[in-house]
Every structure is written in structure tokens, then in C-alpha cells.
Structure 1
Amino acid sequence: MARDAEATRERILAAATDEFAAHGYAGGRVERIATKAQSNVRMIYAYYGGKSGLFDAALAEALRRMAEDVPPRPDDLAGWAGDVFDHHQRFPEILRLSMWAQLERPEATAEPSEVYRNKALAVATAAAQPLSAVDVLVFIYAIAQAWQLSPQGLTGLDENPGSGHDIAARRQSVVTAVERMLQAQSMNGSNE
């Protein structure tokens, strides 16, 4: 019986991630989540206490999964930026869910901050940097996410926006940008 309950929870979280990524917290519908998860609204309330608890759980699970899938590599931050880029290509719903959380439920992002704190500590143990480890992480995430967050009108100017070659070139641009930022940082640090 416990196995069925766990499977139901997983289906509900997967459906909630898709729903909230597509429609946000305000536009997400518990009824649609229950239907997609082959469950019912009563079970969602029993497991998660309601829509806000479900949203928070879906966000925490998505960020936990990203932290496990893309662990920091303090000795290769540029390569790590490429990995973050790849992760957002494979799982765009995680980035969308995170953006909705920042817009509609900023209090939901406080709990998963442990995920980022652990990454910042790992980066802090790397070579001394003039910027704080948190600043480095924020910058790397910003660069790695930029392609997914660009306005449709701007990205629509590309004739083949989804081609494998273009995606590989964008990934390389992310890696190169982080490499150059770290080189500039180290040069500034050695001049002080």
C-alpha cells in the first residue's frame, strides 16, 4: 500500500510541475493536476494540504532534482555552466516553474535556498575569487539561463532556433562567457 501512495505522490508532483510551469500558480488548476495524475483532488489535499503546498512541493522537488542532476564543479565552473544550459534544454519546465515562483510565490523560493547555499559553499572552496561565491553562482546561472529567458520576438529572428548546431553553438557561447568572466576575475584579483 505504501508503494501505491508513493507512486500517486510522484504522479501528482509530475503533473503539478507540468501544470504550474505552463500556467503559473494563479492559473494552475488542481482539478487538471488530479486528472493528469490519475488521482483526485481529495488526495492532493491529503498529501499536500492544498494548492500552495502542492506548488511549493513541486518547486522544491524540481530544484532538488536540478541540484542532483547538475552538481557544482568548482574546478570547472565554465563546464558546469554548460551543464546547467543542457539541463534547462532538457527540462525547461523547471526554469519556468522557478520563474513563476519568483513572480507569484516568492515565499516558496525561501525553502529551496538550501540547494543554492550548498552550491555556493562548494564554489567558495575553489580558487580565491574577487567576487563572492554567491555572485559567481548568480552570474553563471544568469548566463546559462539567458537563451531560455530571451523574448520570443528576439529569438524568433533566428531562422533555425531549435537546430542541434545552433543549440551547440549557444552552449559553447555560455561556456566561453563564463571562462572569460573567470579569467577577467582572476586577473583583477591578481592586480589588487
Structure 2
Amino acid sequence: MARDGADPQTRILEAARTEFAAYGLAGARIDRIAKSAAASKERLYAYYSDKQQLFLEVLELNLREFASDAVLTDNDVPAFAGALFDHGMLHGDHLRMIDWARLETDGTWLPALEVMLGYRDEQVRRIRLAQTAGRVDASWQPVQLMTLIFGIASAWVHEPGAVLAHGGPPPDVTAIAVRRANVVRAVERLIAPSVAAQN
């Protein structure tokens, strides 16, 4: 439901985030968004010309939040993978929005794409610094390694059993902690400098 005290546009964006994450672009309904935001459809269309514009605005907002929340620091790539996992657990709707955008848009979501490409390039630069510092196996191409880290961190979100069981009871705190530890351990092993390189 709409957040008390928020301005109408903020309420609309918050309601749209929930609606689009659940139903995608095609399945979302403007009337449900307006009702949840305690706003009229006329007010919504005063801010956004159509449903796709609102969808792309939500996508860009989500990606900007993601880009500021999960950042590689101190050459600590395993901790970065843990942060990616944490964000996915707390904001599963962000990952679902990316999936919906891939499936339902024609590739014209340029502002959101620019956000993600800028984010990716910055993390790749930081991986190179970690390689220079001897914290990451230098034989990895940083762009390729970045893709693998994302895959490991989001493995449980996209694992077929988890996807098909969406809507069921969420995993408990212990299960989430075990999954996170496995993500961090997998990335630690992935990036470990080879013995040959150390000699």
C-alpha cells in the first residue's frame, strides 16, 4: 500500500515497483497501481505518458539503488559477492524487474542500461585493482569474472526449483546464512591465485 505522507509521485513509483515485479510490463494494471498509490489514473498519467514509461522509470530507480548498495571495496571480492547475495535476498523484486525487462522490452531502456554498464565497468576496474594487489587470480579476464560472480551470487534466485516454488514459504534465517556462506566460499575458491603464479 502507499506510504503515508509521501507525495503522489513517490506513492505511484512505490506501488508500481510492487506491481511490475509481480506481473511484469504486460500483466501490470494501471488501475491497480493508482489504487495502491491512493492516486487517480489521471494523476498517474500526468507524470508518466504510458505504462512502459513508468516501467522504465521503476527499472532505472531499482538499478540505481542496486548500484549504490553492492560495491566492491578494499579489494575484497568474496565480500562483494556476499553483498550481491544480500541485496538479492532483500530486494528480490529488483532481479525480477531485470528479468521482466529482458523478456518484455525491445532494448530501448537506455537510461537503465547506462546505469548498469557504468556500474559494471566500475566493478571491473576494481577487480583489476584486486588482481594487481594479488588478491585475485590474474589469469581471469575481469569482465568474465564479474559475470561469474553475479551468477554465483544470484544462483538461488534463478535455481529452477526455487523459481517454480515462488510464492511458497521463504527460506529461514539459517538456510539463508548457509547459502550466503556458500556464495562467499565459492568466490574465494574461484579467485584464489594459483600456486604457480605465487612462485
TM-score by length of 1: 0.83
Partner in structure 2 of residue 138 of structure 1: 147
Structure 1 or 2: more helix by fraction:
1
Partner in structure 2 of residue 107 of structure 1: 108
Cα-to-partner distance string for 1:130-172 (whole Å, 9 max, x where unaligned): 233222221111111010111237886xxx9612111111110
Change over 3 Å in CA distance of 1:189–1:19 after alignment to 2: farther
Separation (CA, whole Å) in 2 of partners of 1:47 and 1:125: 43
Separation (CA, whole Å) in 2 of partners of 1:155 and 1:41: 34
Separation (CA, whole Å) in 1 of partners of 2:72 and 2:78: 10
SS at match of 1:126: helix
Separation (CA, whole Å) in 2 of partners of 1:111 and 1:66: 13
Aligned residues: 181
User: Which 10-residue stretch deviates more, 19-28 or 31-40?
Assistant: 31-40
> Gaps spanning 5+ residues in structure 2: where?
1-5, 133-137
Q: Which residues in structure 2 correspond to 1:67-146 (within 5 Å)? A: 67-73=67-73, 75-105=75-105, 106-108=107-109, 110-113=113-116, 114-128=118-132, 129-146=138-155
Cα-to-partner distance string for 1:33-83 (whole Å, 9 max, x where unaligned): 111111122232222221111111101111111111222226111111111
Cα-to-partner distance string for 1:3-53 (whole Å, 9 max, x where unaligned): xxx822222111111111100111111111111111122232222221111
Separation (CA, whole Å) in 2 of partners of 1:154 and 1:76: 30
User: Which 10-residue stretch deviates more, 73-82 or 116-125?
Assistant: 116-125
SS at match of 1:165: helix
Q: Which residues in structure 2 correspond to 1:1-192 (within 5 Å)? A: 7-73=7-73, 75-105=75-105, 106-108=107-109, 110-113=113-116, 114-128=118-132, 129-152=138-161, 162-183=171-192, 186-187=193-194, 190=197
Partner in structure 1 of residue 3 of structure 2: none
Q: Quick one: percent identity of the two aligned structures?
A: 34
Separation (CA, whole Å) in 2 of partners of 1:154 and 1:112: 26
Residues 66 and 87 of structure 1 are in contact (CA less than 8 Å); yes or no, is this contact kept in structure 2? yes
Query: How far has the Cα of 1:125 moved from its partner?
Result: 2.8
